[in-house]
Amino acid sequence: MNRKNKTKNVTSIAIKLNSIFVRDLFLKFLIIDICIVIGFIGVWCIESETSFYGEFVKNAERSFNFYPIETANYKVLWDNGKVMIKEATTFLNLLIKAISAIGVIEAVMLLKQIIFGTSQNRRVLKPLNEIAEAASRLSDIAFNEQKFQSLEDAISKITPTTSDERIHIGDSELQGLEEAINNLLDKMRDSYRQQARFVSDASHELRTPISVIQGYANMLDRWGKDDAEVLEESIAAIKSESENMKNLVEQLLFLARGINGKTQLNLIEFSLNDMMKEVLEESKMIDKDHIYRYIDSENINVYGDISLLKQTARILIENAAKYTDKDEYIILRTGKNNKGEPYFSVQDNGIGMDEKDVLHIFERFFRADTARVRKDGGTGLGLSIAKWIIDSHKGYFSVLSRKEIGTRITVFLPERQ
């Protein structure tokens, strides 16, 4: 009976943790959406008044007609009798489309967490089942009912998301069990913080392109339709930010599918040298600002998904190009280490990284301080995708970087057994 109760406690904690995260995630999305809507409407109203009156009128009578949307308008009546009636249908339609796009992404994230969250938490809590079994066996030795009750009460009072809560019963015979549970709680809380940070970062990354699109759309709506130069600049900016948003969503979905086991590897045997030569020729054709060099070796055959491994090489090359000055070298290599493991590497002599930053470069949305000043910093997901691909191939990375000297990232793949 005790064993069954402790197993139920494990499942109960997993469900509780997931429900808390889903609730917090929903509230966070709701607050973000409300802030975006209010902010956009406020900015649009202020800009409309400023454009019409030449200033923002503090003491004026205002009304916003939202429904029906086909005749929506914003009306401002000044004390001097000057009335502004601004058509709002175009703005509201654009705002609805933007919020709908964000809503779809948020719904996908919430659905993913609802469906897979509890099972993921249960896997994390699997060691707790083993602890429960150990506790059940120990009950036959020297434990009485009161000790079990104290342990169960301590577990039931735990809040998984509170960082300073720990189990402490004060019984020396249960000290090892307390430490095991507390260590497990620390891992759970760390995982919760990482998920919360990921959601916050993803929301922030999506807000930026939407804000740019909204800004240019407002500018076009005010006076840009009749200015060819502004019209061209706005269209180019909107297309660019839409592409950025599309790439970000595709990368998020790629990672989500990979983590949930939806991406299947198509494993074949192929020449690593030939793959890197193809990537080299593509890079030379796309990027004319850098000098590419490939250092060949004996022909090396590997067993893996060639399209995903090629995607990893492209990600590493794109990163190298971003942080390397024009007309500098980017060197590609293939070979085997002294353990016989095949590898490919990408080396640049760009801005490099601090040693403390190297530990975090595969985290989602992470950008080193030196990279934040770069205009084309990307989405911050490329290396996370590369790591998932290489982890799926049972391989690993080696990173060597020095500030103002350069960076070399090497991918090691296992020998085919």
For 259-271, how does the pLDDT look when each residue is reduced to its tens digit (9 = 90+)? Answer: 666 677 888 999 9
Q: Residue 1: what pLDDT?
A: 46
Residue that finishes a domain, picked among 232, 259, 286: 259
Could you tell me which residue, 28 or 156, shows the higher pLDDT? 28
Q: How confident is the model at residue 188 (pLDDT cuts 50, 70, 90)?
A: confident
Question: Which of 228, 259, 290 is the C-terminal boundary of a domain?
Answer: 259
Q: Residues 366-379, buried b or exposed e (16+ Cβ, 10 A)?
A: bbbebbeeeeeebb
Are 192 and 45 within one domain?
yes
Residue 384 and residue 306 share a domain: yes
Task: For residue 240, give its domain range.
Answer: 2-259
Residue 370 has pLDDT above 50, yes or no: no
- Pair (187, 79) in one structural domain: yes
Q: What is the pTM of this model?
A: 0.48
**What is the number of structural domains in the chain?**
2
pLDDT, tens only, 278-331: 999 999 988 999 999 999 878 899 999 998 899 899 989 988 998 899 999 999
What's the pLDDT score for residue 412?
Answer: 96
Asked if residue 417 belongs to a domain, the reply is no
Closest CA to 363 of 389, 400, 345, 388: 388
22-31, 67-76, 106-115, 361-370, range with the lowest pLDDT:
361-370
> Residue 122 pLDDT > 80, yes or no?
no
- Is position 233 within any domain? yes
Find where tokens 């086991």 sit: 261
Instruction: Provide the CATH number for the domain around residue 319.
Output: 3.30.565.10
Residues 247 and 274 in one domain: no
Cα separation, 381 vs 396, whole angstroms: 18
Query: Alpha-carbon distance 151 to 2, whole Å?
Result: 11
Categorize the per-residue pLDDT at 371 as very low, low, confident or very high, splitting at 50, 70 and 90: very low
Q: Are residues 138 and 229 in the same domain?
A: yes
Is the pLDDT confidence value at 387 over 50?
Answer: yes
Residues 225 and 319 in one domain: no
Q: Are 113 and 18 in contact (CB under 8 A)?
A: yes
66-96 residue pLDDT tens = 777 778 888 888 776 778 888 888 888 888 8
* Same-domain pairing of 281 and 387: yes
